[in-house]
Structure 1
Amino acid sequence: MSVAISSEEKSAQSKPQIPPNVLMIVVDDLGWADVGYNQTTTLFETPNIDELAKQSLRFDNAYAGAANCAPSRAVLLSGQYGPRHGIYTVSPSARGNAQTRKLIPITNKRGLEPEVVTLAESLKEAGYTTGNFGKWHLGADPDTQGFDKNVAGSGNGMTFHYYSPYKLPNIEDGPEGEYLTRRLTSEVINWVKSAKGKPFFAYVPYYSVHTPFQADADIVEKYLGKGITDKKQATYAAMVEHMDNNVGRILDMLQTQDLADNTIVIFTSDNGGYKMSSFPSPLRAGKGSYYEGGLRVPLLISWPDKILAGSNATPVINADFYPTLLSISNQPQSKLLLDGEDLSGLLLNQEALKSRDLFWHFPVYLQARNSKTDQAQDPLFRTRPGSAMRSGNWKLIHYFENNEYELYDLSVDVAESNNLALKQPSKLNELKVKLDDWRTQTGAPIPTQLNPEYREEINQALMREALLEIK
């Protein structure tokens, strides 16, 4: 007689008895299209990441928790949406010309509060040894929030020196000319070798490929020879290659140390990359924008013989890593308030994830970087205060200054070029209700106080001037 097995029982049976190691690589400012397997050109060279993609479940609709560094990392490591921890941007929240900001933005927090239980703290409680190798940017020191080992992590949001001397806290300078990405990789490799025998969580948030653009001259010349005329952008491509080489070094180490079979590898970015003229992308905008180019990121998850390789179109967000890894490591999460979903059934058993909506909240200002390439709502800001959500194939953006809405059907308009807010009133109203409910549930603050320094005529004049420059 056959006995029916519930999905919960099936999932429990497939979970490992010995918790797997976890290697999480988070590249800084790597765009969705800036890796070989995703790009629309042949300019980038990422053979190691491309090979990992062949061995991974590739998520084609993966999202960062925010469109710039600190808030996205806060979502990842807390498992919570922005309104719960209050990190919305890289401080301050009032960026850009004061005379063009209609509202006084919500005050931004500069780091995770001590009471936030991070992913590292939860995995440590589950018996993991934990290490941070690279950018922290969520307070003074990751040592106080669950990491046993810390190399180069501090409140710094970037390095100004990719070549030693680095002048960074919590890392000793190497030989003059040593490259930071390579040094961090060596630190990871040595630590993992020393941690054998105990499950490890290696969090590798490279400073690369964030500005400043610095790379070996011969690699830069190679990309200039491929037709990239802007030297800074050729240097960016070289930095991507540097990063890919070092990802390969870590993956090779897992093989030679017989660790690959019991290690989950997660490869992703903290947000979209800067929009650059040399590198076409089907997505609108880039870092700092709540259009797809600022939020959608590459995501690969690999675990040999446990996670089937292939592609998956399910929309996921980096808040999902926290509950997923707790579930796979058999660590209870009942006392934690987590906004992400457990993806272990999808990863291990190919179970469809129940339908849910994704949300972002940005009650602050982020000034324009390059008006010609930003592709923002207006040329003065990458983003003005607002919220965004994805529901199925629909994307809604709500801007607070003038209570404006934009609605896009991503199934046919991934470039977000056709605003359907006026043409689809029923869908607009449906999503507005969902977004309002979510903001109420999470206590999301909405700025309403008018900025006394704002001057409408100056705002309009500067926008007209910028638009003329774009043309």
Structure 2
Amino acid sequence: MISRTIKILFISLLHLAILRCKPAKTKLQDLKKPNIVLINIDDLGYKDLGFMGSEYYETPNLDAFAKEGMVFYNAYAGAANCAPSRACLISGLNTPRHGVYTVSPSDRGDIKTRKLIPIKNTAHLNDTIFTLPQMLKSAGYTTASFGKWHIGKDPNKQGIDYNIGGSEKGHPGNGGYFSPYKIDHITNGKKGEYLTDRLTDEAIHYINKNKDTTFFIYMPYYTVHTPIMGKEDLVAKFKSKKGQNGQNRPDYAAMVYAMDQNVGRLLDALKQNGLEENTLVIFTSDNGGIRSISEQNPLRAGKGSYYEGGIRVPLVIKWPGKIRPKSTSTAPVSNLDFYPTLQHVTNPQKRARLLDGINLEPILYGEQPIAHNLYFHFPIYLQKYDQLKDQGRDPLFRTRPGSVIISGDWKLHEYFEDGALELYNLKTDIGEKNNLVEQNPAKTKELYEELNRWRTQMKAPVPTLINKAYDPTY
């Protein structure tokens, strides 16, 4: 009797142990790779949003979105203007590796004011580069782009399955924000249809149609790039509002507001299709704003400059269940980091062999951030926008040939024409007003040597040929 009782007890304990060893029931959503939506606004400044401190522009949808994910306060574009920045994002490679340094040509400005012959620019990404969309296709994603491509003539040859509005063109053309349009790969809507609205309509249609697939949607809106054109009713709305702190253009405010409305519509489409919980959304800008249009105080300069106003950008990443709402980060990151992060998240069959960014997941999940330097290389010239407002190193150029390193709180600029160095502590001087080269020679030497090591490793071309037409007295 006793042995039979022991046997029954043994069987019961064994059965209980087996039940405990069974894996927990896994939701289908946990096994499915996340949909990815990457919103890349054109020329939107670091402080052109309510949640980033603007008191003139109104961005209620993005303000709400920022509370649902992680806001980065030290986020950077890969370059200071659109073509190289987008090339960095889509390739995961820094500018010396792909050779896209600007929107061609690289010898901008008066020939008599350029001391060096700049490095020749590469207009588009080489088709041999394994792009972010191509990597995601290898991970099982369908891919779509709605808006400005600008890094090749045909997005379909660079990993995009479905393209609306994208080609080598970098802006919508004179008067081009209203139908009839002047961009490629789009049909005209009703006369007066607004391009930003139309691109969102197309993206929502795509979501509705492909909600049962795993998709990557790239939303490189043309807005808020010039020409500055807002809807009449929205322009009127901001004419009655007082501007402040260098932000006071009603037509630009109208563009920002329409952009916010459309991002809100896009996010609502994800919710309505039951996709919000399994969609990773990235919102950013391709470079800083144009300072003569919208100032980013206290940041110095704007688009085309490698001072903070030209490269520091807004960035929010949301992924429900993975990224804690209302979280923030001060870690220095750049759009070069998107590719390695998404590659690790999606685990594709074919991976990029070489990437210059880092995987952001430890930061996104609230773990110990990875300390890494940011590097920028621009062996080219970009002429001024507005001599009085640009805040460049000199009144003739937004950029002269040089390189930059950001390491922790420190930032070093090097200029190739005269070998000049500028050292700033961004923690105490985000406006880059006080050059500390003479006060801190040790830090200057440390960053200068590291910048040189990086250029050597990258085989970054440095212009050395003297321009015979240069006239220092001109």
Match of 1:108 among 118, 121, 128: 121
- 1:448 correspondence with 2:461: no
Structure 1 residue runs of 4+, over 6 Å off? 229-232
TM-score by length of 1: 0.92
Distance (Å, rounded) in 1 between the aligned partners of 2:164 and 2:425: 43
- 1:224 correspondence with 2:235: no
Q: How many pairs align?
A: 442
2:205 equivalent in structure 1: 190
Partner SS for 2:93: coil
Match of 2:50 among 13, 18, 36: 36
| 8 Å Cα contact 2:156-2:162 kept in structure 1 | yes
When residues 58 and 278 of structure 1 are mapped into structure 2, their CA distance, relative to the original with a 3 A threshold, is closer
- 2:300 aligned partner, one-letter code: R
2:335 equivalent in structure 1: 318
| 8 Å Cα contact 2:329-2:363 kept in structure 1 | no
- 1:31 aligned partner, one-letter code: G
- 1:19 aligned partner, one-letter code: K
Match of 1:300 among 309, 316, 320: 316
1:21 equivalent in structure 2: 35
1:4 equivalent in structure 2: none
Deviations 1:94-123 (CA, angstroms, capped at 9, x unpaired): 000000000000000000001100000000
Partner SS for 1:37: helix
RMSD, aligned CA: 1.6
- 1:424 correspondence with 2:440: yes
Q: Using the TM superposition, name which of 125-134 and 277-286 deviates more.
A: 277-286
2:373 equivalent in structure 1: 357
Alignment of 1:118-267 (within 5 A): 118-160=131-173, 161-228=176-243, 233-267=249-283
- 1:66 aligned partner, one-letter code: A
Distance (Å, rounded) in 2 between the aligned partners of 1:335 and 1:295: 25
- 2:74 aligned partner, one-letter code: N
Q: Tell me the percent identity.
A: 52
**Offset of 1:280 from its aligned partner?**
5.2
| 8 Å Cα contact 2:292-2:385 kept in structure 1 | no
1:368 equivalent in structure 2: 384
Distance (Å, rounded) in 1 between the aligned partners of 2:222 and 2:336: 21
Distance (Å, rounded) in 2 between the aligned partners of 1:164 and 1:433: 53
When residues 280 and 26 of structure 1 are mapped into structure 2, their CA distance, relative to the original with a 3 A threshold, is closer
The gaps in structure 2 that reach 5 residues or longer are 1-28
- 1:59 correspondence with 2:72: yes
Distance (Å, rounded) in 2 between the aligned partners of 1:55 and 1:256: 17
2:394 equivalent in structure 1: 378
**Offset of 1:216 from its aligned partner?**
1.2
| 8 Å Cα contact 1:266-1:302 kept in structure 2 | yes
| 8 Å Cα contact 2:247-2:294 kept in structure 1 | no
2:3 equivalent in structure 1: none
Partner SS for 1:178: coil
2:89 equivalent in structure 1: 76
Alignment of 1:403-414 (within 5 A): 403-414=419-430
Distance (Å, rounded) in 1 between the aligned partners of 2:59 and 2:206: 25
| 8 Å Cα contact 1:167-1:173 kept in structure 2 | no
Distance (Å, rounded) in 2 between the aligned partners of 1:151 and 1:286: 29
Partner SS for 1:218: helix
When residues 395 and 50 of structure 1 are mapped into structure 2, their CA distance, relative to the original with a 3 A threshold, is same
1:87 equivalent in structure 2: 100
**Offset of 1:423 from its aligned partner?**
1.1
Deviations 1:130-156 (CA, angstroms, capped at 9, x unpaired): 001000000101110100000000000
**Offset of 1:389 from its aligned partner?**
1.1
- 1:328 aligned partner, one-letter code: V
**Offset of 1:93 from its aligned partner?**
0.1
Deviations 1:388-423 (CA, angstroms, capped at 9, x unpaired): 110000011111000011000001000000000111
| 8 Å Cα contact 2:292-2:386 kept in structure 1 | no
- 2:283 aligned partner, one-letter code: F
**Offset of 1:379 from its aligned partner?**
0.4
| 8 Å Cα contact 2:248-2:294 kept in structure 1 | no
2:4 equivalent in structure 1: none
When residues 296 and 446 of structure 1 are mapped into structure 2, their CA distance, relative to the original with a 3 A threshold, is same
Distance (Å, rounded) in 1 between the aligned partners of 2:352 and 2:426: 36
Partner SS for 2:271: helix
**Offset of 1:372 from its aligned partner?**
1.1
**Offset of 1:344 from its aligned partner?**
1.6
Q: Using the TM superposition, name which of 180-189 and 41-50 deviates more.
A: 41-50
- 1:129 aligned partner, one-letter code: T
Match of 1:337 among 340, 351, 354: 354
| 8 Å Cα contact 1:323-1:333 kept in structure 2 | no
**Offset of 1:332 from its aligned partner?**
6.0
Distance (Å, rounded) in 2 between the aligned partners of 1:411 and 1:42: 23
Distance (Å, rounded) in 2 between the aligned partners of 1:244 and 1:354: 32
Partner SS for 1:373: coil
Q: Using the TM superposition, name which of 231-240 and 87-96 deviates more.
A: 231-240
| 8 Å Cα contact 2:138-2:349 kept in structure 1 | no
1:288 equivalent in structure 2: 304
Distance (Å, rounded) in 2 between the aligned partners of 1:57 and 1:305: 12
Distance (Å, rounded) in 2 between the aligned partners of 1:293 and 1:436: 24
TM-score by length of 2: 0.91
Distance (Å, rounded) in 1 between the aligned partners of 2:38 and 2:467: 42
Deviations 1:437-469 (CA, angstroms, capped at 9, x unpaired): 0000111000000001100000xxxxxxxxxxx
When residues 177 and 113 of structure 1 are mapped into structure 2, their CA distance, relative to the original with a 3 A threshold, is same
Distance (Å, rounded) in 1 between the aligned partners of 2:309 and 2:31: 39
1:461 equivalent in structure 2: none
Distance (Å, rounded) in 1 between the aligned partners of 2:391 and 2:89: 26
**Offset of 1:436 from its aligned partner?**
0.3
Match of 1:117 among 122, 130, 144: 130
